[in-house]
């Protein structure tokens, strides 16, 4: 045998195979870049933001229609993300493929107005020298599997918190599930290789092959077609059955988790077999012949024959696009009108489908325009002019001196009947209570809001309303500040009817604010930043509509607009309800570095009370900000919520950017009042800090563990990190100033001989050993400390589990509790957790201590009649 005809060695074949794969991967990456970017963004949004986990739990508990839409859109994304890269592949002439296609214009819907919009399809050019690259094909279709894998990973991550302390073999399931996600791709490759081998067999290529050999190849091909058709129809039936069971029977339980995984996994195989089957529907239908056994399968395949035509198949993408568009439009209008909204996950996925389809379709159209020389057509001219107008509007928006009013707040006149500093101080002097309070509350989204409302109302109920009657000031950040402001509204409306207030709190907690944020963030609010839409024209931004929903819940109204009552006048109504209400400090952060503050009291000299701050309650020309819009300034987390624009004063973002605790505002007022010893006299001052952060609770447990086990320091092997990552972690950590202020007040309490008290009202969380190591940024080196810490954490977690879960639950019995996440949407089980955890020993002891010092009274020498305003 000639040396050139010798089979290459295994090593040479391996090297050639690797080189072939690398070339294929490079071409795949170039053509599929946009699809991969979309998948990465969806992965980050679903798995790196805890509120997405809560939204999945909510779908399992109460929003099954949203869950059904999620399955639909995930499958739609799998198809579209894996389909359109082929056009980029040909357009970029990757692997010399540019001349491989001949394009044709079709009108699959031949009536108006759809006949105005052609669909372009291609057939292969027999004269082209391009040889299709199977590995590029496998990688491209693996994109559809990849988006399904993201969905499966999201499901696992969402259920994980409840499995950590459950007897369910969660770790084993993960070990099994993740490798199994590769099986559908392997199945696709195996079948594809079989069809390729049959096409490339000598009997298929040569006309002089024997009749027997040719028939043998046809028999093999028919068997493969039949097997493919039977598998697909069977899988479609299984998928439908599992989907029905998931929607009807599935719940937030171990059984629901397994059912959700099985459905998702079956849908991956459904995608794979659909990809294999679609272009072979006719030979599959023919191969099934007249067999009675195969007749049910043949019937289903026959109903799908129309999808074999490319133009009909492409209509499927357009149909999915219309579904996504309807979801977006309904969610947008619903956000503006105050309708109940879908869960945020299908809304988010719909936006990604919408934007990807638009971009990919434009890319395909421009490629086809070049191939068919369609530059003179009316459609091309229309698209070209439209894109030119859009570019022009962007240029005007970002480079022309035009004012953007998208996120601008309204201004109203200050009234002449504001409660003055003198009047407020007189009301403090009139109090004969031994202890006066300052209440601060940390940021943390709806979780912080709901935790603050529940803690304050619980203390109010336990003290018959005396807590707030003995409180000087309320100050918070972000969600915590929002909670204090909303309780002000609840008090204004309902006074000391704590049962009615609690019902409203529960209803507020169950509202879906994430969907409103997503609908407007990815849609209308983005377009309204472009001139001329930036001039408002009757529409408002997402913080406005969110605050309107809060207002309507508190005031039991159905208004389509926010109240124009000023910040101070609104608070004055709460103050006058029963003759006193704590002053309210609304904190925000200015982009110039200083704080923005609205104090409900008309102060004599703002700078003496709040140093390095902008007085937003007293603007020029005797103007100020309406109450609910003022409250919205504190709750604008960077990136996800827009900065508030206050005309003449600049932009202001979430208060947590400077102080995420609210303690700074309390200390400002306390220090100011201490300058006149006649105001507070020798009263005891107590700080109540309401904390919802799991990180701060973890730190509390670490300090408690060290004290209990007499450990000065826990040695760790630090996690190695890049300088940039270290800088980002430090800069984005919101606990720096709160940590300092907390230690500062702790030191005051230790050295004040009883004149200062300090209560940290923390939301207890279940904390694992890995949570502690993550908090310490390293691995604990001492085996003895590891053992003791695990014992300690087990005891602490059991206290929570005794309140939040019953033992020996059945497989499909739903969990009633789910730890709240940093979110704008809480599930039913998360709200249950907040209610139940209020009975935790850590909290009940603190509540009892607060109640005892409230009950302690003495008459002061500077007693004055209670001031009635």
DSSP 395-425: HHHHHS-----TTBPP-EEPPS-PPBHHHHH
Give the count of domains, the chain: 1
Quick one: pLDDT band at residue 206, thresholds 50, 70, 90? low
CATH number of domain containing 754: 3.40.1090.10
Task: Confirm whether 395 is domain-assigned.
Answer: no
In a domain, residue 800? The reply is no
pLDDT band at 208 (very low <50, low <70, confident <90, very high): low
Cβ proximity of 737 and 658 under 8 Å: yes
Residue 16 has pLDDT above 60, yes or no: yes
Q: Are 661 and 737 in contact (CB under 8 A)?
A: yes
Task: Give the domain range for residue 486.
Answer: 433-693+735-765+819-855
According to the model, what pLDDT value does residue 209 have? 55
Question: What's phi and psi for 613, nearest 5 deg?
Answer: -145, 155
Tokens for 321?
């696009």
631 belongs to a structural domain: yes
Residue 463 lies inside a defined structural domain of this protein: yes
For residue 867, name the pLDDT band (cuts at 50, 70, 90): very low
Q: For 352-379, write each residue's pLDDT tens digit.
A: 999 999 999 999 999 999 888 989 888 8
Instruction: Please state the pTM of the whole predicted model.
Output: 0.94
Q: Judge whether 582 lies within some domain.
A: yes
* 315 vs 126 pLDDT, higher one: 315
Q: For residue 43, what pLDDT is reported?
A: 96
508 lies in some domain: yes
Label the pairing between strands 435-441 and 684-691: parallel
**pLDDT value of residue 805:** 85
Q: Largest Cα–Cα distance of the chain, in whole Å?
A: 119
Strands 412-413 and 623-624: antiparallel
Q: Which of 844, 704, 689, 840 is nearest to 765 (CA)?
A: 840
Asked which of 2-6, 368-372, 518-522 is least confident by mean pLDDT, the reply is: 2-6
Q: Return d(Cα 769, Cα 172) in angstroms, integer.
A: 19
- The encoded tokens of residue 20 equal 């072939």
Q: How many whole angstroms separate alpha carbon 773 and alpha carbon 716?
A: 8
Q: In three state form, how does the secondary structure of 93-106 look?
A: CHHHCHHHEEEEEE
Confidence check: pLDDT of 405 > 60: yes
Does the pLDDT at position 519 exceed 70?
Answer: yes
> Mean pLDDT across the chain, nearest whole number?
91
- The confidence score (pLDDT) of residue 84 equals 94
Is 144 inside a domain boundary?
Answer: no
Q: What is the pLDDT of residue 3?
A: 47
- Taking the C-alpha atoms of residue 787 and residue 780, their distance in angstroms, rounded to an integer, is 11
Q: Which sign does the torsion angle of CA 269, 273, 278, 284 carry?
A: negative
Which one, of 198, 227, 222, lies nearest residue 283 by Cα? 222
What per-residue confidence (pLDDT) applies to 197?
Answer: 83
d(CA 441, CA 685): 17
Q: What average pLDDT does range 152-177 have in this prediction?
A: 94
Q: Token digits for 383?
A: 């698209």
Distance from CA of residue 710 to its chain's centroid?
41
Q: How far is CA 423 from CA 190, 573, 580, 583, 643, in A?
A: 83, 15, 11, 12, 34
> What is each CA distance from 623 to 146, 413, 482, 487, 646, in whole angstroms?
55, 4, 22, 25, 11
| CB-CB contact of 487 with 452 (8 Å) | yes
Per the listing, tokens 């709806």 go with 446
Position 588 in a domain: yes
Give me the residue label for tokens 């309320």.
Answer: 474
Question: In the numeric block, which tokens belong to residue 444?
Answer: 């943390």
Q: Measured between alpha carbons, how far is 822 from 830 in angstroms, rounded to an integer?
A: 11
Q: Would you state the pLDDT for residue 104?
A: 87
**Residue 422 CB burial class (10 angstroms; 0-12, 13-18, ≥19):** exposed
- pLDDT score for 153: 97
Give yes or no for residue 859 having a pLDDT over 80: no
């Amino acid at each position: 045998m000639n040396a050139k005809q010798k089979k290459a060695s295994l090593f040479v074949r391996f090297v050639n195979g690797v080189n072939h794969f690398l070339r294929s991967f490079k071409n795949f990456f170039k053509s599929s870049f946009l699809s991969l970017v979309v998948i990465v963004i969806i992965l980050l949004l679903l798995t790196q933001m805890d509120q997405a986990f809560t939204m999945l739990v909510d779908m399992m508990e109460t929003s099954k229609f949203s869950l059904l839409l999620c399955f639909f859109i995930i499958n739609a994304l799998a198809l579209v993300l894996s389909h359109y890269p082929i056009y980029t592949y040909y357009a970029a002439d990757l692997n010399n493929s540019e001349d491989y296609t001949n394009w044709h214009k079709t009108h699959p819907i031949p009536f108006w107005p759809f006949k105005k919009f052609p669909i372009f399809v291609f057939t292969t050019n027999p004269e082209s020298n391009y040889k299709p690259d199977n590995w590029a094909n496998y990688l491209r279709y693996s994109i559809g599997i990849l988006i399904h894998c993201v969905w499966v990973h999201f499901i696992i991550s969402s259920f994980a918190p409840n499995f950590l302390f459950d007897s369910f073999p969660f770790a084993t399931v993960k070990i099994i599930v993740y490798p199994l996600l590769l099986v559908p791709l392997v199945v696709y490759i195996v079948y594809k290789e079989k069809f390729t081998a049959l096409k490339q067999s000598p009997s298929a290529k040569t006309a002089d092959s024997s009749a027997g050999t040719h028939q043998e190849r046809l028999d093999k091909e028919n068997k493969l077609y039949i097997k493919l058709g039977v598998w697909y129809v069977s899988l479609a039936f299984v998928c439908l059955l599992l989907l029905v069971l998931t929607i009807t029977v599935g719940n937030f339980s171990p059984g629901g988790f397994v059912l959700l995984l099985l459905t998702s996994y079956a849908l991956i195989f459904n995608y794979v077999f659909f990809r294999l089957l679609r272009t072979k529907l006719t030979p599959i239908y023919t191969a099934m012949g007249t067999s009675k056994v195969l007749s049910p399968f043949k019937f289903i395949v026959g109903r799908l024959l129309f999808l074999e035509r490319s133009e009909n198949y492409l209509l499927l993408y357009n149909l999915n696009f219309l579904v996504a568009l309807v979801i977006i439009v309904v969610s947008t209008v619903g956000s503006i009108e105050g309708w109940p909204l879908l869960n945020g996950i299908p809304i988010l996925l719909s936006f990604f489908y919408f934007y990807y389809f638009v971009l990919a379709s434009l890319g395909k159209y421009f490629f086809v325009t070049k191939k068919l020389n369609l530059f003179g057509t009316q459609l091309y001219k229309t698209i070209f002019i439209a894109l030119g107008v859009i570019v022009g509007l962007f240029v005007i928006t970002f480079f022309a001196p035009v004012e953007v009013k998208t996120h601008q707040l309204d201004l109203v006149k200050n009234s002449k009947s504001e409660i003055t500093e003198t009047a407020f101080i007189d009301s403090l002097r009139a109090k004969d209570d031994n202890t006066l309070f300052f209440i601060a509350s940390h940021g943390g989204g709806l979780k912080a809001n709901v935790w603050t409302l529940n803690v304050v109302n619980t203390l109010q109920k336990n003290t018959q309303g005396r807590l707030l009657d003995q409180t000087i000031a309320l100050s918070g950040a972000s969600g915590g500040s929002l909670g204090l402001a909303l309780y002000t509204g609840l008090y204004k409306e309902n006074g000391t009817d704590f049962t009615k207030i609690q019902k409203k709190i529960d209803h507020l907690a169950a509202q879906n604010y994430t969907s409103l944020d997503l609908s407007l963030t990815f849609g209308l609010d983005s377009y309204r930043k472009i001139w001329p839409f930036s001039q408002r024209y009757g529409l408002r931004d997402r913080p406005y509509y969110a605050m309107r929903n809060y207002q309507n819940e508190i005031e039991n109204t159905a208004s389509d607009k926010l109240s124009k009552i000023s910040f101070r006048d609104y608070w004055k109504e709460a103050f006058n309800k029963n003759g006193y209400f704590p002053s309210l400090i609304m904190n925000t952060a200015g982009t110039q570095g200083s704080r923005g503050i609205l104090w409900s009291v008309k102060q004599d000299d703002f700078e003496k009370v709040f140093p390095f701050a902008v007085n937003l309650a007293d603007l020029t020309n005797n103007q100020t900000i309406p109450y609910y819009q003022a409250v919205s300034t504190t709750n604008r987390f960077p990136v996800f919520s827009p900065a508030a624009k206050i005309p003449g004063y600049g932009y202001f973002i979430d208060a947590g950017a400077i102080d995420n605790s609210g303690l700074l505002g309390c200390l400002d007022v306390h220090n100011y009042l201490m300058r006149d010893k006649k105001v507070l006299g020798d009263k005891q001052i107590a700080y109540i800090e309401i904390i919802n952060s799991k990180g701060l609770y973890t730190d509390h447990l670490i300090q408690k563990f060290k004290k209990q086990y007499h450990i000065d320091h826990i040695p760790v092997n630090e996690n190695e990190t890049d300088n940039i990552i270290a800088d980002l972690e430090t800069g984005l950590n919101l606990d720096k100033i709160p940590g300092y202020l907390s230690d500062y007040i702790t030191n005051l309490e230790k050295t004040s001989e009883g004149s200062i008290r300090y209560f940290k009202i923390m939301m207890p969380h279940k904390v694992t050993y890995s949570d502690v190591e993550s908090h310490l940024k390293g691995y604990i080196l001492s085996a003895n400390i590891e053992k003791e810490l695990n014992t300690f954490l087990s005891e602490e977690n059991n206290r929570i589990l005794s309140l939040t879960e019953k033992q020996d639950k059945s497989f499909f019995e739903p969990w009633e509790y789910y730890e709240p996440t940093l979110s704008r949407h809480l599930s039913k089980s998360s709200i249950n957790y907040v209610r139940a955890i209020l009975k935790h020993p850590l909290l009940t002891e603190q509540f009892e201590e607060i109640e005892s010092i409230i009950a302690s009274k003495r008459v002061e020498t500077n007693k004055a009649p209670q001031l009635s305003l």
